[in-house]
Amino acid sequence: MSDLINSASLRLREIIMDALGVLVAEQEIPAVPLPSFNIEIPADKSHGDFAANTAMVCAKALKMPPRKIAELICDKLSLEGTIFEKAEVAGPGFLNFFLSRKWFSDVVKNVLDEGGDYGKTQLGKGKKVLVEFVSANPTGPMHIGNARGGAIGDCLASVLQWAGYHAEREFYVNDAGNQIEKFGKSLELRYMQLCSDKGQELIAQYKDDTDKLCSVIYEGSGEDGEFAMPEDVYLGTDIIEHAKNFYDINGKAMENVSGEERRKALVDYALPINIAGLERDLKKYRIVYDNWFRESTVHEKNETKLVVDKLMEAGKAY
């Protein structure tokens, strides 16, 4: 559609320039350099489909009233065989142009001919664009802000694709760093609570009601509770559920190993489940990524240090 409008605007400029040429040839206006004029689409459709301020901007150069110039131009316009049906002079000297029905029928035909490709352009010329969006922390479920980010990011990628870019969608998985250490600590505390005498009593009491078990443990997470938790951990019931499911599989087997080994085992178990949950939830409203990029791979290849070293060597960092 934008191509058709641009084409119509260019054609209209040629028509106006031809009319000015005729006026100069017939010596109705002097042969002097004329300033550039604008062609735009009026906000009020009663003023036509296109409007030109030619007469307004040429008044000083031609030393004539704008209205008079507009009337002279309008009289010499040759619209036969063009996409324009008529032209009118409005106000102090605006030129208003009305498209013919053929132009509108051509637009409809263009829509039908292009079908599902209607509206696509090659503006991007295949240039690669990486759109990274949502990238929610994989240590827990997503929230409504992530849902909004998902819709915006996916729509942006689609618009870029329709504009001729090679757009790729990426989810950056923060599976390394402080949040993962906090995740592991949180899981470890909940697991050790389940391995405690009180935890064993609750497991026996609520063996057929995991939701109730998690609720009781969660309610005891306050300062004075049996299962009090420090402030620097994740307190959601999803952490308790992961710990309980891990316990159901492994029992108390990880109770007496080192804290590092225990946390690694818990994170290795829970993190893939969370990431799969993120992917599943995003697919519910048709968001599919080309790449799930894990932060841990950057650290494994020592790429962060390499970048920092290069910046330091170039004097771009300190």
Tens-place pLDDT, residues 266-286 = 999 999 999 999 999 999 999
| pLDDT value, residue 6 | 87
| pLDDT value, residue 106 | 86
Low-confidence ranges of the chain (pLDDT < 70): 1-2, 222-225
* Three-state secondary structure readout of 104-134: HHHHHHHHHHHHHHCCCCCCCCCCEEEEECC
Based on the domain organization, do 208 and 133 belong to the same domain?
no
Domain assignment present for 300: no
Which domain CATH number covers 46? 3.30.1360.70
| pLDDT value, residue 125 | 95
Based on the domain organization, do 66 and 145 belong to the same domain?
no
Based on the domain organization, do 18 and 89 belong to the same domain?
yes
Which domain covers residue 139, as residue numbers?
A: 120-173
How many domains does the chain fold into?
3
The answer to pTM > 0.75 is: no
Contact at 8 Å (CB) between 69 and 62?
Answer: yes
Domain assignment present for 87: yes
Domain assignment present for 108: no
Based on the domain organization, do 71 and 90 belong to the same domain?
yes
Based on the domain organization, do 197 and 272 belong to the same domain?
yes
| pLDDT value, residue 131 | 98
| pLDDT value, residue 223 | 60
| pLDDT value, residue 1 | 57
Task: Take residue 158 and report the two structure tokens written for it.
Answer: 């689609």
Based on the domain organization, do 148 and 197 belong to the same domain?
no
Domain assignment present for 310: no
| pLDDT value, residue 231 | 86
